[in-house]
Amino acid sequence: MYPIHSKIQAKVSSNGTAKSPFYALLGEFEQALSGVLNRETQPAVKRHKEKGKLTARERIKLLIDTNTSFLELSALAAYNQKDNAFPSAGVVTGIGVIHGREAVIVANDATVKGGTYIKETVKKHLRAQEIAMENNLPCVYLVDSGGAFLPEQDSVFPDRDHFGRIFYNQARLSAMGIPQISIVMGSCTAGGAYIPAMSDETIIVRNQGTIFIGGPPLVKAATGEEVTAEELGGGEVHTSISGVADHLAESDAHALEICRNIFESLPKPQRQKLDIAQPEAPAYTEDELYSLIPVDLKRQTDVHEIIARLVDGSRFHEFKESYGTTLVTGFARIMGFPVGIIANNGFFTSESSLKGAHFIELCSHRKVPIVFLQNTTGFIVGKKYEHGGIARDGAKLINAVANASVPIFTVVIGASYGAGNYAMAGRAFNPRLLLMWPNAKIAVMGGEQASNVLVSIKEQQLKANGKELTPDERQRIKQEILSKYEVESSAYYSTSRIWDDGIIDPLDTRKYLALGISASLNRPFGEPNFGVFRM
């Protein structure tokens, strides 16, 4: 494998600090993240701690192995919605290592409206379970929740992918032999009671955790019976009378220790074999990335320059280097893991689509995970290209992406527009992780193009009636669409709605991909099996 020789290394390193417009975006991202991570001074957090309870993230830190990283997902879920009253959508999810075993962790944040579930909370919880299912990872639920956020029951209760799906998934995961473990560290009421009740093994904290179908006020109203929460469904009751829980813990820390002990005796999964090398830093200083990142998406950045700063030793064995050059494909390593990289270097052509499909076949046959680096405005348009069958060749690529038998990972490093999003393993194509850089944009097309399309449709409608748009009207329609697209295509809008697994600092890309690839090895890869390619 040969190293990539950067053509702009001298320019970047000559000014030492490598300032770029990306720094402003990075500052905005760090501020948003700090707003959800650093909430110690908020009254709800203070009250929570006064009760002797740990916060959700403190609990996770104690649960996972020391000196290991927690791969937190969608930390900015629900961001800029509902007056930011639901930081991280009130639940912390991610992948952590417990006694050497990768596991999905779902921890309710009781300091956010009592840990209750709005639409985004449910979506985040279900996404975590989906990750557990795809990668064969045990699930640990750190339960401290008032259940459904009652004012918004219509968006959390009745539909297929609402609250009930959590329990359905628990049953299915358990049946697949994927351990389901709950620690009841606070309230667990009504529907929520089924999270521990549906688990394979459940721990409850004395004088703190409660499980009941109806709480004391409901019991009083329904039957007139007066009972305290502890008498109704506390730790003592459930571990010695009802049998709903299996282990009684004296504190949060004790409960987490019991959970770690459970992991110690879990059978080890059969891992996919992969030729893993010693991790190596890229040959170029990684923070040069900040200078290269496509902030102005109208300017194409040579993606070789970005690959050079993401892969081990900056070494890249490029495949079909001179053919279909708007897509760059090749083999490399990230933190020692072998990967096939598929990266946009402009819009899709027939040639680049065919090259991408061919490369996915190679990776599937060789059992090499694939990393997609998305920065595309989509497929090239025009009579010449339609006549050349670009739709047919694009379909081949999309077919190959959908049927790739190895784990795929997607990082949106710039634009993700139109069918380019599909061809590059967007959310609908089940990448094991979908990560966004803070500059990323995702939409059916760019705002400029969408506004031009809509203006031209309006003009045709009016023309049929012998009328036309005034320049002011044309400008107003354009501006409305442009502003709407500006907001809706931002990485923050996407991550708030959990269309992705989180915005990350580009310098963390290697770490996130490595953790994701490592987690994917818990389930052996499938055999290549593609559908009919239209020739």
Considering just the CA atoms, what is the radius of gyration of the chain in Å? 25
Cβ 219 to ligand COA shortest distance, Å: 11
Residue ranges of E strands in 54-164 = 71-73, 91-98, 101-108, 139-145
User: Tokens in use for 17?
Assistant: 């600090």
Q: Does residue 114 belong to the site contacting ligand COA (CB under 6 A)?
A: yes
Judged by CB, which is closer to ligand COA: 190, or 482?
190
d(CA 324, CA 168): 45
Cβ 192 to ligand COA shortest distance, Å: 6
Judged by CB, which is closer to ligand COA: 35, or 151?
151
Q: CB under 6 A: which stretch of 5-13, 110-118, 346-354, 443-451 binds ligand COA? A: 110-118
Binding mask 296-325 for ligand COA (x = CB under 6 A): ------------------------------
Cβ 48 to ligand COA shortest distance, Å: 7
Judged by CB, which is closer to ligand COA: 118, or 343?
118
Judged by CB, which is closer to ligand COA: 23, or 157?
157
- Closest listed residue to residue 88, CA positions, set 162, 30, 35, 26: 35
Cβ 290 to ligand COA shortest distance, Å: 39
CB contact at 8 A, 437 and 412: yes
Helix (H, G, I), strand (E, B), or coil: what is residue 442?
strand
Interface of this chain with ligand COA, residues 198 to 237, rule: CB under 6 A: 215
- Please give the single-letter amino acid code of residue 270: Q
- Dihedral (C-alpha) 502, 506, 507, 509: value to the nearest 10 degrees? 60
d(CA 125, CA 62): 21
Judged by CB, which is closer to ligand COA: 206, or 511?
206
Judged by CB, which is closer to ligand COA: 29, or 149?
149
Cβ 113 to ligand COA shortest distance, Å: 4
d(CA 107, CA 120): 14
Cβ 217 to ligand COA shortest distance, Å: 8
d(CA 65, CA 100): 7
Judged by CB, which is closer to ligand COA: 13, or 251?
251
Q: What residues are paired with 94 via a beta bridge?
A: 72, 105
Binding mask 56-95 for ligand COA (x = CB under 6 A): ----------------------------------------
Interface of this chain with ligand COA, residues 429 to 458, rule: CB under 6 A: none
CA dihedral over 257, 262, 267, 270, signed as positive or negative: negative
Among 116, 129, 208, 314, binds ligand COA (CB under 6 A): 116
d(CA 11, CA 63): 46
DSSP 414-431: EEEETHHHHHTT-GGG--
Judged by CB, which is closer to ligand COA: 148, or 262?
148
Helix (H, G, I), strand (E, B), or coil: what is residue 138?
coil
Judged by CB, which is closer to ligand COA: 23, or 167?
167
Q: Which residue is nearest to ligand COA (CB)?
A: 146
Among 39, 59, 101, 113, binds ligand COA (CB under 6 A): 113
Would you mind telling me the total number of residues written for the chain in this entry?
Answer: 535
Judged by CB, which is closer to ligand COA: 189, or 345?
189
Judged by CB, which is closer to ligand COA: 147, or 516?
147
Cβ 215 to ligand COA shortest distance, Å: 5
Interface of this chain with ligand COA, residues 136 to 195, rule: CB under 6 A: 146-151, 187, 189-191
Cβ 226 to ligand COA shortest distance, Å: 16
Cβ 189 to ligand COA shortest distance, Å: 4
d(CA 236, CA 242): 9
Backbone φ and ψ for 186, nearest 5 degrees, come out as -175, -145
Binding residue count for ligand COA, defined by CB under 6 A: 14
The stretches of 176-228 forming alpha helices (DSSP H) are: 194-197, 216-223
Judged by CB, which is closer to ligand COA: 223, or 270?
223
- Please give the single-letter amino acid code of residue 135: N
CA 423 to chain centre: 19
- Please give the single-letter amino acid code of residue 309: R
Cβ 526 to ligand COA shortest distance, Å: 39
- Closest listed residue to residue 125, CA positions, set 180, 81, 44: 180
Non-local CB neighbours of 262 within 8 Å, separated by 6+ positions: 179, 181, 201
CA dihedral over 474, 475, 480, 483, signed as positive or negative: positive
d(CA 274, CA 323): 29
Residue 487, CA atoms < 13 Å, CB-side half-sphere: 7
Cβ 125 to ligand COA shortest distance, Å: 14
Cβ 208 to ligand COA shortest distance, Å: 11
Cβ 109 to ligand COA shortest distance, Å: 11
Judged by CB, which is closer to ligand COA: 52, or 151?
151
Cβ 176 to ligand COA shortest distance, Å: 27
Binding mask 363-402 for ligand COA (x = CB under 6 A): ----------------------------------------
Packing angle, helices 390-403 and 350-366, rounded to 10: 20
Q: CB under 6 A: which stretch of 60-68, 109-117, 177-185, 278-286 binds ligand COA? A: 109-117
Burial (CB < 10 A; 0-12, 13-18, 19+), residue 302, is middle
Judged by CB, which is closer to ligand COA: 126, or 341?
126
Interacting residues toward ligand COA by CB under 6 A:
113-114, 116, 146-151, 187, 189-191, 215
